[in-house]
Structure 1
Amino acid sequence: MERLICTGKEGDFLVIGGQEFNHLKALRVKKGDRLEVFCEGRLFLSILLSIEKGYALCKPLEEINIPLPKPEVNLYQCIPLELRLMEEVIDRASQTGANLLIPLVCKRGFQKLSVVEEKLERWKKLSLASFKQCKRPKPMEIGRPIRLYELEAKEEVSLVLDNFSAEADIKSLDLTKRSYGVLVGPEGGLSIEEVETLKSKGFKPLFLRPYVLRMEMAGAVATALIMNLAGKS
């Protein structure tokens, strides 16, 4: 069943307009077809009532409540010097089940917070697009960027991916917890000082064997492993 994002309401009906309307037409959806429509943070099973000039109207039939997967994995991603790589990070993290992505400013990454904040709306749209494609219960949230030194360990298990650490691999983790935080460095990795600071705050270094992964792949791999292995160790 196709999934679309509503762009407004008309009485009790959901409006599909703009780019979403173009997407609806490309899908060749017809009057009377059933759709999943996401509106104001809720997902509805809906029926397409009419296709007008520039928009379509859908009638919600019932709310769709899909249980959230467990555990909760929050990804803390250092912003790469090549900002375009964040788009790959967002798509992959969303597909593998991350609940939240927080962009981080670190020593070897992109530094200008004002520029990053201008990208947030686009990144949120990418998260919505992934939500439609992979049938998540809700879109992955994109948080406001912060500096790495401001970050505190909030989840039950807080991890920092570290290619130079032999302290822990995925098999050594306690995978019975309800929440995990995963911090990923930029291209070239975090500095020794940054890793030590994170360790002092309760972050546990983790090495994903057997090879060194690209920045845009590492967070998604860690998320996928935790989501699939939790509760089965």
Structure 2
Amino acid sequence: MSDIAFRGPRIHVAAALVAGGDVVLPEGAARHVGRVLRLKPGDSLVLFDGQGQEACASIAEADRKKVSVHIREVRDGSGESPLSVHLGQAISKGDRMDYAIQKAVELGAAAITPLYTEHGDVRLKGEREAKKLAHWQAVAVSACEQCGRATVPPVHEPQTLEHWLGQRDEPLKLVLHPGTPGVLDRVDAVDRACVLIGPEGGLSLAEVEAASAKGFAALTLGPRILRTETAPVVALTLLQSRFGDM
């Protein structure tokens, strides 16, 4: 099975991928394939189910209302890191949160939880929270389409920092905060980690102390203060370089 056979635009479908079978693309994907990419019958594309499987496929039928795809081969995806990182990201406004999620997915994050923090200026409730969560998950899907991952990391429901801290059992737990340099150099190989990123105004002293009480070590990213959407990019890059596949 060659890599060439699996080249083409990558499209996420929430459906079972079976060699020899056909899949009707959902409305959004069909519109993207037909109107944006302008693919025609016979053109190749790659489908992935978000659960780790991907398929070499070709357009069987394409019109204004329906795009049907024929699956030729199915295989396990190969874009996952051996290091599973759960990112706890303080919620920020607008495109900053989208950017943080997008880049975290590209850098191999296994799960992302938006967090309500003391200095955070975003509070979501009810339908607004549900819509924002659906949007963030769509950002994660789009990032997987771009970067080649076949497993879509979950973006969990927003929760309080206190609740998130209480759930953590990873062997390596880090909070971005000025601390002792070289913390990663003193850690043996790990396959699971979690990283806490504060909001634009930073975590409060009480929040840092609460994280420390749960076993989090302070990770310093140099002498410059990074924006909340830049910090996860740097932290995940360091972790993937030290323990993952970079």
The normalised TM-score by structure 2 is 0.84
**Residue 5 (structure 2) aligns with:** none
1:127 pairs, out of 117, 140, 146, with 140
Give the secondary structure class of the aligned counterpart of 1:141.
coil
**Residue 224 (structure 2) aligns with:** 211
2:40 pairs, out of 18, 27, 30, with 30
The residue type equivalent to 1:98 in the other structure is A
Taking the aligned partners of 2:85 and 2:50, their CA distance within structure 1 comes to 23
Give the alignment's Cα RMSD to 1 decimal.
2.3
The residue type equivalent to 2:13 in the other structure is C
**Residue 56 (structure 1) aligns with:** 67
Give the unaligned 5+ runs of structure 2: 1-7
**Residue 87 (structure 1) aligns with:** 98
Taking the aligned partners of 1:34 and 1:181, their CA distance within structure 2 comes to 38
The residue type equivalent to 1:18 in the other structure is E
Taking the aligned partners of 1:186 and 1:55, their CA distance within structure 2 comes to 43
* Contact 1:117/1:145 (8 A) holds in 2: no
Matching of residue 156 in structure 1 with residue 171 in structure 2? yes
* Contact 1:47/1:58 (8 A) holds in 2: yes
2:84 pairs, out of 59, 72, 82, with 72
Deviation for aligned residue 1:77: 0.5
Give the unaligned 5+ runs of structure 1: none
> Which stretch of structure 1 is more off in the superposition, 111-120 or 131-140?
111-120
* Contact 2:81/2:244 (8 A) holds in 1: no
Matching of residue 19 in structure 1 with residue 28 in structure 2? yes
What is the count of residue pairs matched by the alignment?
Answer: 228
The normalised TM-score by structure 1 is 0.88
Judging by fraction of residues, say which structure has more strand: 1
* Contact 1:17/1:54 (8 A) holds in 2: no
Deviation for aligned residue 1:73: 1.1
35 and 231 in structure 1: CA distance in 2 versus 1, 3 angstrom threshold: closer
Taking the aligned partners of 1:179 and 1:100, their CA distance within structure 2 comes to 11
Deviation for aligned residue 1:59: 1.3
Q: Deviations over 1:181-232 (max 9, x none)?
A: 0000001100001100110011111111242110011012111221122169
Matching of residue 107 in structure 1 with residue 118 in structure 2? yes
Taking the aligned partners of 1:85 and 1:193, their CA distance within structure 2 comes to 25
> Which stretch of structure 1 is more off in the superposition, 20-29 or 187-196?
20-29
Matching of residue 190 in structure 1 with residue 190 in structure 2? no
Give the secondary structure class of the aligned counterpart of 2:230.
helix
> Which stretch of structure 1 is more off in the superposition, 108-117 or 27-36?
108-117
Give the secondary structure class of the aligned counterpart of 1:63.
strand
Deviation for aligned residue 1:18: 2.0
Deviation for aligned residue 1:39: 3.6
